């Protein structure tokens, strides 16, 4: 898979590299404006992200495998955790609770990175080893989420 990707990327670049070296023009093509893509699994705001994280936690506990072509549950959880500080910053949340979100997200990311590392055979078991700590972090996030209607009367920008 990877060599094919590499090969395709190289082939795509080859004409340009050659034209750079030969200083020859190649102005026939029109280059389309690239879109700024937001991943489909990115939650709209911080409360949605916390809800999604809890749902993913339950999914991992249940252990039901996803379809092959869909995103791995641990990868999705890792992504959502990475987005937590940004989503929380996109609200009226004060600095003190935001710092808690930031610290929690960093710790959760470390746990998920560990769980997703190649040397781990059984990811679900590795994840469950952190269950007590995960529970503490989830409670902290839920507590902050509950402040949201008061902290952010307009909610975040995605819900406009």
Partner 1 sequence: MESLFWGAVLRFVQALIQATPTILVGLIVAGVFRRLLGHAGTRRLFGENTWRTLPQAWAVGMLLPVCSLGVIPVVREMRRAGVSGGAILAFGLTAPLFNPISVLYGLTLADPIVIITFSFCSLMIVTVVGIAWDKLFPHTAAAELEPPTVGFGAKRMLAVAVFSARELAGPSSLYIAAGLLGVAILSLILPAGYLQTAAEHDDPWAPLFMTAVAVPAYATPMAAMVQLASMFQHGNSVGAAFALLVLGAGANIGLVVWMIRMYGLRRSAAWFALLIAVVVGLAYGVDKPLYPHGVEPAGHTHAFDIYCAPFQPGTSGAFSLAWRMLSEKIAPHEIVALIVTGLFLMAGIALARWDRGGRLERWLERRPEKQPRGDIVLPGPVLGGIALVGLIGVSVLGCYIYYPPPSEIFEEMGIINVEVASAASSRNWDTALYWIPIYDDWTRKLQVSMFLRGEQLTPYRRAKANVLRDKLELLEHEVEDQEVDEARQLGIAVNRAFLRIKAAYSP
Question: CB 158 → partner 1: shortest distance, Å?
Answer: 8
- Which residues, numbered 114-143, are part of the site for partner 1 (CB under 8 A)? none
Q: Which is nearer to partner 1, 6 or 61 (CB)?
A: 6
Under rule CB under 8 A, residue 66 binds partner 1: no
Residue ranges of E strands in the chain: none
* CB contact at 8 A, 113 and 125: no
Q: Interface with partner 1 by CB under 8 A: which range of 11-19, 44-52, 69-77, 138-146?
A: 11-19
Determine the Cα angle at 75 with ends 82 and 55, to 5°. 85
Of all helices (H) and strands (E), which one includes residue 15? helix 2-22
Under rule CB under 8 A, residue 19 binds partner 1: yes
Please name which of 100, 94, 99 lies closest in space to residue 150, comparing C-alpha atoms. Answer: 94
Q: Which is nearer to partner 1, 31 or 67 (CB)?
A: 31
């Amino acid at each position: 898979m990877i060599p094919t990707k590499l090969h395709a990327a190289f082939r795509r670049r080859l004409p340009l590299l050659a034209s750079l070296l030969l200083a020859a023009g190649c102005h026939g093509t029109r280059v389309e404006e690239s879109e700024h893509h937001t991943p489909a699994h990115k939650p709209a705001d911080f409360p949605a992200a916390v809800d999604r994280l809890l749902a993913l936690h339950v999914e991992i506990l249940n252990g039901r495998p996803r379809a092959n072509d869909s995103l791995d549950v641990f990868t999705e959880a890792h992504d959502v955790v990475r987005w937590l500080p940004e989503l929380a910053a996109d609200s009226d949340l004060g600095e003190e609770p935001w710092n808690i979100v930031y610290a929690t997200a960093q710790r959760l990311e470390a746990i998920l990175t560990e769980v997703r590392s190649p040397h781990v055979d059984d990811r679900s078991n590795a994840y469950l080893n952190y269950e007590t700590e995960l529970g503490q972090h989830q409670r902290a996030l839920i507590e902050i989420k509950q402040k949201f209607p008061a902290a952010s009367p307009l909610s975040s920008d995605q819900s406009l």
